[in-house]
Amino acid sequence: MNTPLRHLATVMLVMFLALMGSATWVQFVQAPDLNADSRNVRTLYREFGNARGPIVVAGGAVARSVKVDDPFGYQREYTDGELYSAVTGFYSVVHGSSQLERAANDQLTGRGDQLFFSRLRDLVTGRKPEGAAVETTIVEAAQRAALEGLGDQQGAVVAIEPSTGRILAMVSTPGFDPNALASHDVSAANTAYAELAAADGNPLRSNATLEIYPPGSTFKLVTAAAALESGEYDASSTLPAPVRLDLPQTSATIGNFGGGGCGANPITLADALRVSCNTAFAQLGMDLGDDALREQAERFGFDDASLTIPMSVTASRFPAEANAPQTAQSAIGQFDVAATPLQMAMVSAGIANDGKVMRPYVVERVRAANLSVVSQTEPEVLSTAVSPGTAAQLTDMMVGVVANGSGTSAQIPGVQVAGKTGTAQTSDDAAPHAWFTAFAPADDPQVAVAVLVEHGGSAGSEATGGRVAAPIARAVIQAVLGS
């Protein structure tokens, strides 16, 4: 009977090996997924039990954990919560977290791979682990200027340092006060959350990075870039600019803003951009073809769902397929073209940086609790959108827009500003979105900015990008240059 006994002993051994395998599967292989599951309250409890690292703007903590005497141990507190809500996001015991609080969670809790050695030291010395400080690239003055500029209007502002990709300002209105959501009083936190979730303009979702809007005429920068890159056009090339452009295959037509002409017919490419001539750019788009436009848009960062700053960013889109009339509309930023304010800031920043789009980021460095730097973000080229020559021509054309075109209200005495307005139709009965994207100084760009004011803001149907959005961009640029 010993042979079957030995066989059975082997079977028992195999059973235990299977158990060890499944335990390893759960506790090692699947553990990151299980720990990230939103139903896993354990992760929250543990995080709250340790001191979570602060989120820092210019040396001051805008989000920090304060020791309190309740089961959670630490209370998350936000200074100027509303001002930075699009950057910090919220951190709630019942509703999870968002934005940096979520994307930089590993660093803030001290669980990131980079913090392995400080964790090991805490383990050996028996010290309670502490989270690392996340230092942001945000410039307080620019952030304040953006929020004040938007005021009660719904919209977003993003400012980028063109040469590095550092995000200097990121504001979404309406914002929210993360302190209300961070409350350990569950019913109070629930009420606050329910109010915000139901509020007009969806305050919990950042307009700057998560919502996409038709970019309107600001997209003409991309169309102009595609034209210059094709080698068949330069700034003085002439384009037909009728009052109305008949679209092929359909009875639809495209007109200009205000219904008039563009001041000349034919018109040069530079002037067409300066006065934002729809018919000229629609025809140009059809001549270039949708493939050329799509390729150019993607080189500026459209259709890239993988971008993180480190928060995830909604991909801006250019339609995957477009016939001639759809291409005409796409060329002026209508039809299915849609972009985040961050994306339109990246377009300006790319032009400002000799055609190279830098990867945008909001975390400058991560510092462990003992103040040693654990990681420092190095600027990185995301893509080369246009050649330096094209970038220079586009810059000159954009300077014209602000000097004596549709964007004159962005002028700053003593500083040459390059910009482009946009007024994007959304539907027949709603006021258009007002856009403005710009960079300055034109000869030595320090800041690129995109401003979106939803449905024209307080100006309503009278709004244009030049009237409503450009002054906000000007204020942000001045704040960055003055700081």
Partner 1 sequence: MATVEPHRVRAGRGVELGLLVLALALAVGAYALVGLGTSDEVPADVLGYGTGLAALALGMHLVLRWRAPFADPVILPVTVALNGIGLAMIYRIDVAYEGAGKDHGFAGRQLLWTTISVVLAAAVLVCLRDHRTLRRYTYTAMVVGLVLLGLPLLPVLGTSINGARIWVNVGSVGMQPAEFAKLALAVFFAGYLVTHRDTLALAGPRFAGLQLPRARDLGPILVVWAGSIAVLVFERDLGTSLLLFGLFVAMLYLATERVSWVVIGLLMFVGGAVVASSVFSHVAARFDAWLHAMDPEIFDRLYGGSGQLVRGLFGMASGGLFGTGWGQGRPDLVTYAESDFIVPSLGEELGLTGLLAILMLYVVLTQRGMRAAVGVRDGFGKLLAGGLAFVVAWQCFVVVGGVTRLIPLTGLTTPFLAYGGSSLLANWIIVALLLRVSDDARRPAPAARGVRPDEPLPGEVEAGPTRVPAASATRAPGTGAGVGAEPDDEHPTERIGGLA
305 binds partner 1 (CB under 8 A): no
Q: How many residues bind partner 1 (CB under 8 A)?
A: 37
Task: Tell which one of 28, 258, 414, 482 touches partner 1 (CB under 8 A).
Answer: 28
Q: Which is nearer to partner 1, 41 or 68 (CB)?
A: 41
20 binds partner 1 (CB under 8 A): yes
Task: Tell which one of 12, 186, 194, 430 touches partner 1 (CB under 8 A).
Answer: 12
Shortest distance, position 55 Cβ to partner 1, whole Å: 24
25 binds partner 1 (CB under 8 A): yes
Task: Tell which one of 9, 68, 197, 381 touches partner 1 (CB under 8 A).
Answer: 9
d(CA 53, CA 134): 7
| One-letter identity of residue 5 | L
15 binds partner 1 (CB under 8 A): yes
For residue 142, the surrounding DSSP H or E stretch is helix 140-150
27 binds partner 1 (CB under 8 A): yes
Shortest distance, position 312 Cβ to partner 1, whole Å: 22
**Contact 282/245 with Cβ under 8 angstroms?**
yes
Is there a cis peptide before residue 413, judged by omega within 30 degrees of 0? no
Angle in degrees, CA 456, 460, 462, rounded to 5:
95
Question: Is 206 one of the catalytic residues?
Answer: no
236 binds partner 1 (CB under 8 A): no
Nearest in space to 206 (alpha carbons), one of 290, 120, 89:
89
Shortest distance, position 21 Cβ to partner 1, whole Å: 8
Shortest distance, position 124 Cβ to partner 1, whole Å: 13
Which segments of 316-387 does DSSP mark as H helices, in order? 324-331, 341-352
Q: Which two tokens stand for residue 19?
A: 């158990």
Burial grade of 11 (CB within 10 A; 0-12, 13-18, 19 or more): exposed
- Taking the C-alpha atoms of 462, 466, 468 and 471 in order, what is their torsion angle to the nearest 10 degrees? -150
Print the binding letters for residues 31-70 with partner 1: x by CB under 8 A, - otherwise: xxxxx-x-xxxxx-xx------------------------
Q: Are strands 133-136 and 55-57 parallel, antiparallel or unpaired?
A: parallel
Active-site pick, 92, 97, 172, 217 = 217
- Positions annotated as catalytic residues are 217
Give the interface with partner 1 as residue ranges (CB under 8 A): 1-9, 12-13, 15-16, 18-20, 22-28, 30-35, 37, 39-43, 45-46
